[in-house]
Chain A
Amino acid sequence: MRFLRPHTWAEALGAKAEFPDALPLMGGTDVMVDVNFGRARPNALLDLTAIPELRTWAPDGDALRVGAGVTYARLVSELADRLPALAAASRTVGSPQIRNRGTAGGNLGSASPAGDAHPPLLAGGAEVELESVRGARRVAVEEFFAGPKRSVLEPDELIAGFRARPATGPQYFAKVGTRNAMVIAVCSFALALRPGEGVGTGIGSAGPTPLRAYAAEEFLAGELADRWEKRDALPGPVIGEFAELVAGAARPIDDVRGTADYRAHVLRVLARRTLTWAWADHCEGGAGCA
């Protein structure tokens, strides 16, 4: 197996163009499991850990640009105020050891429907930055996933990072699993409120790809349009309808972690809970909630 260790982003793109079958390696928390168990026998590994550009994040216009190699531990300690749902999700990934190595870029690279970074990125309206020697392009996160563990990444492309606007309102992430540490979520959900503007959602582990609940977003944005300013209590039926629409957007399956029915139930609960928490935060931020 060939081992390639570029020290600059330009070298990395050159190497990927020359060896399109080289497997990129970031934190290695997915790649090494496959290598150790013989599930991946790549001809070449493209180690991206020596590229400083991938480890940085910075404001860029009204968005934040986060390099693919920023670890979960750093998303928690450095970006919790600007990307709260992503930081909350990051706090639940694997274990502290996994969070010291694993990255949101690697999560996108694996494109698992259960990846915990995906629902917050979807809810936050993030874009993935892809690049090759042919050029750079940006893809909305919901267009990035092409199927279970498949994405629109071309063989000569690498993930440079992602862009997302810093939170303008409350954001929440919640997941259900059999224990807190080191389990793949049965279901997960992220919600972002953008006061005066709209609502973002992201569903994990309940379909072939991570999903947005478009109808739920539209419904809630309509209900909140004249409530952002008033900050009064949300009627129960509004919360209930939102939860139904979230569950309805999912395309869950039965598997060892849970049945489709259970997943739909969990999504309803998570949607109701996150909306209740987020709306209470919004009300507190102003005159107070009835």
Chain B
Amino acid sequence: MDVPSKGTAGGAQRTAARPPARTDVTVSVNGAVERIKVDNRASLLDVLRERLGLTGAKKGCDHGQCGACTVLLDGRRVNACLILAVTVDQAEVVTVEGLTDGTRLHPLQAAFIERDAFQCGYCTPGQLCSAVGMLAEAAKGRASAVTADLADDAPVLDEAEIRERMSGNLCRCGAYPNIVAAIGEVAG
């Protein structure tokens, strides 16, 4: 069991009595392996933004309701604000910064621009990561709450399906019609 032995919290006298407050974590972020010491209380979102300088993922609510912090953790979309950073040891994280291959935009990014799928853009990184995760789920034949035929292993991503499947991402600017259109274009 990993019971971290070194601590750096508090003053010198308190350190001895207090349990360690930081833990070493090795995590792949957008393909690069990062070895960092993280505060045991820190969320993945805070570590991405404040320690690794990846400010794409946004903090809208800090409790799982807005989706602005959505990233891919081992390929699945999650709310980074609800992930304790110390728990991602040995995991793979992809943020909006990692969606391009360095030169070309991800097809979803291109479609968002083409379809004008944002106004202020605050929700956009989360929308994009969520949409990437959503398309992967649909490709595996996952049904949603609005899928009529649950046995269908290739659900058609019409507007109702996209809206339901993207319901974890809010947009204060109300750019939903264009977000749905952009995702629909890539879903084909």
Contact surface of A with B, Cβ cutoff 8 Å: 1-7, 11, 15, 25, 27-29, 32-33, 35-37, 43-45, 47, 49, 73, 76-77, 80, 91-92, 94-98, 100-101, 180-182
Contact = CB atoms under 8 A, between A and B. Distances in A.
Interface of B: 1-4, 19-21, 23, 40-41, 43, 62-65, 67, 70, 76-79, 81-84, 86-87, 89, 130, 133-134, 137, 140, 142-145, 150, 164-169
Contacts of B19: 1-2, 43-44
A47 B87 contact: yes
B60 to A, nearest CB: 12
Contacts of B63: 32-33, 36-37
B150 A80 contact: yes
B82 A29 contact: yes
Contacts of A91: 143-145
List the 7 shortest-distance A-B pairs measured between CB atoms, nearest first.
Answer: A95-B168, A181-B167, A2-B19, A32-B82, A3-B40, A33-B63, A97-B168
B4 A3 contact: yes
A76 B142 contact: yes
B81 to A, nearest CB: 7
A4 B166 CA distance: 34
Contacts of A5: 1-2, 86-87, 89
Nearest to A42: B41
A181 B87 CA distance: 27
Given A101-B78, A101-B82, A96 B40 contact: no
B84 A32 contact: yes
Given A91-B144, A91-B145, A45 B40 contact: yes
Say what secondary structure dominates the interface of chain B.
Answer: loop
A274 to B, nearest CB: 16
Contacts of B169: 95
A33 B63 CA distance: 5
A110 B104 CA distance: 45
A162 to B, nearest CB: 22
A96 B77 contact: yes
Nearest to A43: B19
Given A32-B84, A37-B63, A47-B86, A98 B167 contact: no
A76 B143 contact: yes
A114 to B, nearest CB: 15
Contact of A49 (B20, B87, B166): B87
A25 B86 CA distance: 12
B142 A73 contact: yes
B1 A11 contact: yes
B172 to A, nearest CB: 15
Given A2-B40, A44-B19, A180 B83 contact: no
B87 A2 contact: no
Which of A11, A25, A44, A96 counts the most chain B CB atoms within 10 A?
A: A96
Contacts of A1: 19, 21, 40-41
A130 B40 CA distance: 27
Nearest to A2: B19
